[in-house]
Amino acid sequence: MNQLVDEFLFIMQRLTVVSVPDLMLVTLIVYAGLSFLRNTRAMVLLRGMLLLYVLITLLIAVLNLTAFSWLVRNSLPAILVAIPVVFAPEIRRALERVGRASQFLVNSRSREQSLDVISAISHAAARLSERRHGALIILQRLDSLEEYVDTGVKLGADVSPSLLLQIFYPNTPLHDGAVIVADTKIVAAACVMPLSASGVLSAGAERQMGLRHRAALGTSEVSDAVSLVVSEETGAISVAFGGRMIHRLGRERLEGVLRAFYKPIQPSNPFEQFMSRYFPFLVSEPKDTTEI
The pLDDT of residue 191 is above 60: yes
Which range marks the domain in which residue 167 is found? 108-264
CATH code of residue 165: 3.40.1700.10
Listed residues 101, 132, 150: the one ending a domain: 101
pTM for the whole structure: 0.61
Please give, one letter per residue, the 3-state secondary structure of 174-210: CCCCEEEEECCEEEEEEECCCCCCCCCCCHHHHHHCC
Residues 55 and 150 in one domain: no
- What's the confidence (pLDDT) of residue 272? 55
Say how many domains are in the chain.
Answer: 2
Residues 86 and 116 in one domain: no
Distance of alpha carbon 238 from alpha carbon 254, whole angstroms: 8
**Residues of the chain with pLDDT > 70: what percent?**
69
Residues 166 and 95 in one domain: no
Structure confidence at residue 157 as a pLDDT band (50, 70, 90): very high
Listed residues 76, 101, 126: the one ending a domain: 101
Q: What is the pLDDT of residues 119-141, one digit of tens each?
A: 999 999 999 999 999 999 999 98
Q: What is the pLDDT of residues 22-70, one digit of tens each?
A: 888 888 888 877 776 665 556 666 677 778 778 877 777 777 777 877 7
Residue 184 located in a structural domain: yes
Distance of alpha carbon 100 from alpha carbon 47, whole angstroms: 29
